[in-house]
């Protein structure tokens, strides 16, 4: 992520002479599993500065699913046979 930021910064310094455009001030973040440079002016639309949180909180839509998963009752089945010492001795005698 840092390498992408440095690459963007060097590209802007080498190729751009006017730094008053919205594309000259950006924030690098992950959007839908990809790195994306988002202009700061565009971020104003998505941010609630009073409460310092995003306006769209996508993870809140997952809460009903988490409630369902939290109430999941699993049944654990014991695998294999349980043998006591006497059973083991009888098993060995039967084989021999």
More confident residue, 82 or 95: 95
| CA distance linking residue 29 with residue 5, whole number of Å | 10
The single residue listed with the structure tokens 């997952």 is 62
Residue 92: per-residue pLDDT: 67
Q: How many residues does the chain have?
A: 96
Q: pLDDT digit string (tens) for 39-86?
A: 989 888 989 989 988 898 888 888 888 888 887 665 545 555 565 666
Give the mean pLDDT of 19-31. 84
pTM: 0.51
Q: Determine the average pLDDT of the residues in 83-94.
A: 64
Domain boundaries, the chain: 2-95
């Amino acid at each position: 992520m840092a390498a992408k930021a440095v690459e963007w910064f060097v590209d802007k310094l080498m190729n751009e002479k006017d730094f008053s455009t919205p594309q000259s001030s950006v924030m690098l973040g992950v959007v839908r599993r990809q790195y994306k440079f988002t202009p700061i002016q565009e971020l104003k639309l998505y941010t609630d500065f009073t409460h310092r949180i995003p306006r769209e909180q996508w993870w809140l839509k997952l809460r009903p699913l988490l409630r369902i998963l939290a109430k999941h009752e699993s049944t654990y089945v014991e695998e294999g046979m349980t043998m006591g010492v006497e059973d083991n001795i009888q098993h060995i005698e039967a084989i021999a």
